[in-house]
Amino acid sequence: PRSAPPLAFVAALGRGASSELAAAVKAEIEGALVERNRIRVVEREQLDTILKEKNLSRSSEFDRATALTLGKLLAARVVIFSSLMTEATATTVSIRAVDTSTGVLMAEETRDWRRRGGWPEAGRVAVRKAAAALENKIVGTLAADARR
């Protein structure tokens, strides 16, 4: 029998961009992963329940340690961090997957888009391509680990 897809928690680190853009990128990553159905994404209701139980604030931005702790509490195998760097002519999105049991970086993807194309047109395409490539790396890494 085929095992369930791994569970992931997506956290926006929110450095270098507006909180609105960071939230939009996070939502785009989650949407891309849900559509492809190879990684399950923690539902907002699950997150809200844990945050309430642990008396943590509801924010789309978490630091790395808090996100890893939340990932473990949610029984997520992977925490996916997104961060943005906005410059005069381009924006760069970096997406990293970290194993919650070890804290080890599993995979990383970076994409740029020109400010002229802007969000959502060019930015959404760049984020979705990065999310798909990251997902392929995560699934490949977990499959290799399972064979060991």
Phi/psi at 84 (nearest 5 deg)?
-125, 145
pLDDT at position 121 is 83
More confidently predicted of 51 and 3: 51
**In this model, does residue 39 exceed pLDDT 70?**
yes
Tokens of residue 20, six digits: 């609105």
Distance of alpha carbon 5 from alpha carbon 137, whole angstroms: 14
**Of 11-25, 75-89, 103-117, which gets the smallest average pLDDT?**
11-25
pLDDT of 114-141, one tens digit each? 877 677 888 999 999 999 999 999 999 9
pLDDT at position 1 is 46
pTM reported for the whole predicted model: 0.80
Tokens of residue 82, six digits: 């997104």
